[in-house]
Structure 1
Amino acid sequence: MDVVLLAKAAVMGIVEGLTEFLPISSTGHLILAGSLLGMNDEVGKVFEIAIQTGAIFAVIIVYWQRLRDAVAGLRHSPVQQRFVANVLIGFLPAVVLGLAFGKAIKAHLFTPTVVASTFILGAFVILWAERRQATAVRIESVDQMSGLDALKVGLVQCFAMIPGTSRSGATIIGGMLLGLSRKAATDFSFFLAIPTLIGAGLYSLYKARALLHASDLPLFAVGLVTAFVSAYACVRWLLRYIASHSFTPFAWYRIAFGVLVLLTAHMGWVDWRD
């Protein structure tokens, strides 16, 4: 396979890993990177979704002990049973609404105006959430969440179907607005990403199976590995960062990126229609 193409796959994997778990929309960054690198054809779009699986393995490694405890305690621990149930409850709305409205959203909402608007609007939501966080916390740990809390976060995650919103941004900031601490919201966002992103990746590969060939394996392998490595570094960094910092810098970054979307669209440099 072409070395240049493999290098492009590595860049895309790094972009995916660095942006998937930050509240800045990995989809928006992958559209930009894919357009600049010439990887925005049909196979490239499948590639973007499939490499999310590499990023999610980073979360599994980081939280391995907690996930292992959850599996081991399923038969006898009410705490672990509630934890697993909450993740499944939070995952369910994305499945239902994604299957029902996914095609319509792709057809009508992947426009520069929508992407830029959601980037900028999301920034103001982050700023608002941070201002009220100090007085609104009622849940300090994921283990304190109820099924209703999980369902609410799962419903908020569905806003990420709108391009530019950010799945992590929707779940973390949405969780904070619903009364979760910054740490609890971030942890649950990561746990919720496991079934959500693996499911989306496998579903995308299944739908596009006719487009893929054995010769594409090296391309996907490079993307998966680089996404895993960069996501692992990013998740570890983010968990340290939130211990003493707010998400406010990401809000200003989103505003700047929203302006970049409008500029690149106006100049015809990037096709933001996916």
Structure 2
Amino acid sequence: MDFLEMLKAVLFGIVEGITEWLPISSTGHMILLDEFIKMDVPKEFLDMFLVVIQLGAIMAVVVLFWNQLWPFSTKEKYFIKKDTFTMWFKILAACIPAAVVGLAFDDKINELFYNYQSVAAALIVFGVLFIIIENRNKGVSPRINSIAEITWKTAVLIGLFQLIAAVFPGTSRSGATILGGILIGMSRTTAAEFTFFLAVPVMAGASLLKLVKFGFAFSGSELILLIVGMAVAFVVSILVIKFLMNYIRRHDFKVFGWYRIVLGAVVLAYFILA
């Protein structure tokens, strides 16, 4: 095992752990990182690696929100937590649009939109939208202030916003769903929490799909790189999720909007001038 390749896996895990939860597009950052830090692995493994290390990020959500996600209780007379089951059904309903489109058109979407022009455009457009929507909502009280207040209609609408991110890389799954949630009257904290919960089946499904396509045909060194990337993504995600939940209690998302615009411009400039 090349120690340099291990360090590269660590760096990819750090970037994944940061960008998966902040609404700034993990895809845009991964494209830039891959330009500057090339992993010495087959392309098929790299394509799978960049998706499956998300499993580490998912586990961070499971660990941090276990009590809200686990639908069974040993402390109460009725050990099934009905509200938690209902929440999960709403999450699954929100996943349906992206799951259908992803399964049917995954390869075609990658062929058409997985390029620097599309990613940069999505970064900039959604960055502008973040700023516009936050300015529009300034002083407006949210109608939905907890996960329990999310209706079936709201869950499906969030799923449609997630579909935008599934089709256009660079949109940011968390960015699209948080922005959508704020638009339809959710508080920032509730929109962020629902986005985290929604990520569990979505990212687990995407990772499983990539693993099946790859065929589980790992060499020993490839398996170590994957485990390292996932472990680092897990630790970093724990820190980033805690930071984000504290941050949005006192601040809006406009700073992320400006960051997206700058990053989109950097992506365009780099590839045009390279």
TM-score range, shorter chain: over 0.9
The residue type equivalent to 2:30 in the other structure is L
1:151 is aligned to: 156
C-alpha distance in 2 between matches for 1:183 and 1:242: 7
1:54 is aligned to: 56
Matched, 1:202 2:208: yes
Moved more, 107-116 or 133-142: 133-142
C-alpha distance in 1 between matches for 2:186 and 2:206: 26
The residue type equivalent to 1:143 in the other structure is A
Which of 192, 199, 203 aligns to 1:186? It is 192
The residue type equivalent to 1:200 in the other structure is A
C-alpha distance in 1 between matches for 2:226 and 2:83: 38
1:45 is aligned to: 47
Q: Equivalent residues in 2 for 1:1-274 (5 A)?
A: 1-39=1-39, 41-68=43-70, 70-72=71-73, 76-133=80-137, 134-135=139-140, 137-161=142-166, 162-209=168-215, 212-268=218-274
Moved more, 98-107 or 224-233: 98-107
C-alpha distance in 2 between matches for 1:96 and 1:129: 29
Shift of 1:30: 1.1
Tell me, yes or no, if the aligned pair for 1:13 and 1:226 is still in contact at 8 Å.
yes
* TM-score (normalised: structure 1): 0.92
> Percent of pairs identical after alignment?
39
Shift of 1:213: 2.4
1:271 is aligned to: none
Shift of 1:132: 2.9
Shift of 1:101: 2.2
Aligned residues: 267
C-alpha distance in 2 between matches for 1:215 and 1:58: 25
**Contiguous gaps of at least 5 residues in structure 2:** none
The residue type equivalent to 2:118 in the other structure is V
* TM-score (normalised: structure 2): 0.92
Does the residue aligned with 2:118 lie in a helix, a strand or coil?
Answer: helix
C-alpha distance in 2 between matches for 1:252 and 1:212: 40
Moved more, 1-10 or 77-86: 77-86
The residue type equivalent to 1:135 in the other structure is V
Tell me, yes or no, if the aligned pair for 2:72 and 2:80 is still in contact at 8 Å.
no
Computed over aligned residues only, the root mean square deviation of the Cα atoms, in angstroms, reads 1.7
C-alpha distance in 1 between matches for 2:94 and 2:104: 17
**Contiguous gaps of at least 5 residues in structure 1:** 269-274
Shift of 1:93: 1.4
C-alpha distance in 2 between matches for 1:245 and 1:61: 25
